Structure 1
Amino acid sequence: MRAETTRFLNDRLDWNLLRTYLAIMQERSLSRAAARLYVTQPAVSQALKRLEDALGRKLIERRGTHFVPTQAGEEVYRIASDIYGTMSQLETGLDERTADITGSIRLLTVSRIESRVYDEFLAEFHSAYPRIDLQIEVMRSSDIISSLLQKTATAGLSLCRTPVEKLEMRCFLRQRYAMFCGRYHRLFGLSQLTMEDLLAENFVSFTSDQIGDSLSPLTVFRDQRGFTGRIVASSPSLDEVRRLIYAGYGIGCLPEHIVKDDLARQRLWRLPPEEGLVDVDIHLLWHRDRKQNAAEKAFFDAMERCMQRHALAERL
């Protein structure tokens, strides 16, 4: 009886419904999923309802403008992700032309992107397209955006607080920033600290940590909480900001996942608030009107498959 039910489900289940569900789960928004798939929001809502009806399970519980996946919804997402990944590999494996595609890709990126998914994407892309040359240059976010607007690069992985006219933007990584001090700072090793204990401390800052710039939410946080310390050291480089914090110049903000080893080795000390400060996104950016060569088209197709296969939270 179960085998007959399974065959019946296989016959009536539309893969496009699973593809839409993947977009909903990864974007965590019906409207953003619709924009990503280039369809209307009612079409996405209808696809979700059809999938729930086909499976006989509630997949998403709506709570105002937000939603939470049910246990069944989480399981369907896991299975759909595996299916999509397998289909993507099948597509590349059967395309005999991939090894023949040549050309160059110029990718601009901010420093210190640490992501297993990104590393594996690069490995898989090179395996599928061995004759494509990849040039990666590390730049500040503002310089990346400027270069993309001038159409001198294929794409960029960059901070970008607000949409930029003529640039397409897809969130690739979401980093949670928190507050830290270094081994040579007077607060190092102290437990039960409160926010009030930090208000007069001097800061180490990113040079992009200014109102209107890419990391300005960190400035807004300091202003809203009433910090009175001054900025005593700064750098555009994450590694140099981390070095200055370690050296005791002041407290500062860093991505949580970047400094796990520093915390384990007691080079840095986590400060309040426990939940961190703010999420900062790294986006995949490209100029929508720039003509793409065959290599660049292959790159964007592969990136799309990667982002479809791995939810945002899985990419760090």
Structure 2
Amino acid sequence: MASPRRRFVWEIDWNLLRTFTVIVEEKSLTAAGNRLSLKQPTISNALRRLEEHMACRLIDRSSSHFRMTPAGERLYAECLTMFSIVTGLPDLVKDDPDLITGHVEMAFASHIECPFLDRFLADFHRTFPRVSFSTTVSASQTVIDNVLSGESCLGICLAHEKHPELDYTVLYREHFGFFCAPGHPLFGKRETDITELAALDYVSFKTDQLGGALAPVARLRQRENFNGPVLGLFTNLEEVKRLIKVGFGFGPLPIHVVTADIEARQLWQLPPYENPPAADVYLVTKRSARGSRAETLLIDRLLAAIAAVPLTERTYPPGIAGPELGRA
């Protein structure tokens, strides 16, 4: 059962305190009504109700005099203190760059390349230059583990099975192409048919399986009956690209991530050229986490930025048609 003091806090109309303060400042119920755009009976009723809540008389008044009682003087002093606190609330909660400090620890998968995210982080830094950042780069499952343990306030990675304690928001979508390197029999060949890939040596990611985050790639391989030897499986994009470049075989890579390699003729794209497989990359956060002010501000702003930009504008490379994926 609530105590009398707690009941008082919840039951009192705080507008009565504002009306009382104006009555004292104007030294007249009529003048207070004019200032508050209220009729005089409404002001009188407000004063009566406040005196009932306080169980004492606050103002002695008649046609010839108007003065506060000792209780009224004490209450008026407290009202001034309360209104001073309320006046400062906007400054207390606003996003003042000079007040926002702290450190943000993030966890990224190895191949995160997202112009939308880069622009967001640049804008955030310009607005809050005193917030510092650090990032660990690892396999997607390790990213998930870091967010679950609280080591990182957010993760950015591929995901297939969703952990019930985490929230997953699609940050961007990336299309995968198959690539080979100089020395490969298909390098530089412009009329390659996808059936020519079926029996060739292959390297890929460990998640390139029907139950993994790269299931779209695995489904394409299954549909096209790719049955060549698998000579390497890795969690890191750089290792997959390395093995492709040194001639172990062909393999999948995010098209927009390897644009420079394509232009330098270090990689050659193979079919399919239309409707390439796509995977969603997620912003992952822990639902019950209590982050610092800097962490909370970053996550809230990033979620708002994602919600404001259509997924088509967060899909890479832009302009490539691909099958729609389910969204979590």
TM-score (norm 1): 0.66
Is residue 199 of structure 2 the alignment partner of residue 197 of structure 1? Answer: no
Residues 185 and 247 of structure 1 are in contact (CA less than 8 Å); yes or no, is this contact kept in structure 2?
no
Q: After alignment, is 170-179 or 211-220 more displaced?
A: 211-220
Structure 1 pair 272–102 and aligned structure 2 pair: CA distance change class (3 A): same
Q: Distance in 1 between matches of 2:304 and 2:183?
A: 45
CA distance in 1, matches of 2:265, 2:102: 46
Q: Structure 1 stretch 181-190 or stretch 128-137: which is displaced more?
A: 128-137
C-alpha separation in 2, matches of 1:144 and 1:114: 16
CA drift of 1:276 comes to: 4.6
1:161 aligns with 2:196: no
- d(CA) in 2 for partners of 1:98 and 1:289? 27
Q: Is 1:121 matched with 2:153?
A: no
- Distance in 1, matches of 2:291 and 2:300, equals 12
Do the aligned residues in 2 keep the contact of 1:184 with 1:246 (CA within 8 Å)? no
Cα displacement string for residues 269-295 of structure 1 (whole angstroms, at most 9, x for unaligned residues): 111111153111110001101112211
May I ask how many residue pairs the two structures share in their alignment?
224
In structure 2, what is the equivalent of residue 300 of structure 1? 299
**In 2, Cα distance between equivalents of 1:99 and 1:213:** 44
User: Any residues of structure 2 matched to 1:1-316 within 5 Å, and which?
Assistant: 95=94, 97-315=96-314, 316=316
Name the CA distance, whole Å, in 2 between partners of 1:216 and 1:289. Answer: 29
* Structure 1 residue 126, shift from structure 2 partner: 1.5
Q: Read off the aligned partner of 2:187 and give its amino acid letter.
A: F
Q: Tell which has more relative contact order, 1 or 2 (C-alpha 8 A, sep 6+).
A: 1
CA deviation after TM superposition for structure 1 residue 300, in Å:
1.2
How many percent identity over aligned positions? 31
1:209 partner letter: D
Structure 1 SS opposite 2:297: helix
**Residues in 2 aligned to 1:291 and 1:207: alpha-carbon distance in whole angstroms:** 33
C-alpha separation between the residues in 1 aligned to 2:210 and 2:171? 23
Distance 1:276 1:245 in 2: 22
Q: CA deviation at 1:203?
A: 0.2
- Give the C-alpha shift of residue 199 in structure 1: 0.6
Deviations 1:172-213 (A, max 9, x none): 010001111111201111121112111111101112323423
Distance 2:162 2:233 in 1: 26
Partner of 2:326: none
2:195–2:224 contact (8 Å) kept in structure 1: no
Quick check: 1:178–1:276 contact (8 Å CA) kept in 2?
no
- Deviation sequence 1:69-111 (CA, Å, 0-9, x none): xxxxxxxxxxxxxxxxxxxxxxxxx946232122221110112
Q: Which ranges in structure 1 are unaligned for 5 or more consecutive residues? A: 1-93
CA displacement at 1:124 relative to structure 2? 1.4
RMSD (CA atoms):
2.1
Counterpart CA distance in 2 for 1:303 and 1:283 is 12
Unaligned runs of 5+ in 2: 1-92, 317-328
Question: Match for residue 37 of structure 2?
Answer: none
SS of residue matched to 1:156? strand
Contact 1:99 1:128 in 2 (8 A): no
Tell me the equivalent position of 1:48. none
Distance 1:223 1:313, change over 3 A: same
In 2: Cα distance, 1:274 partner to 1:145 partner: 32
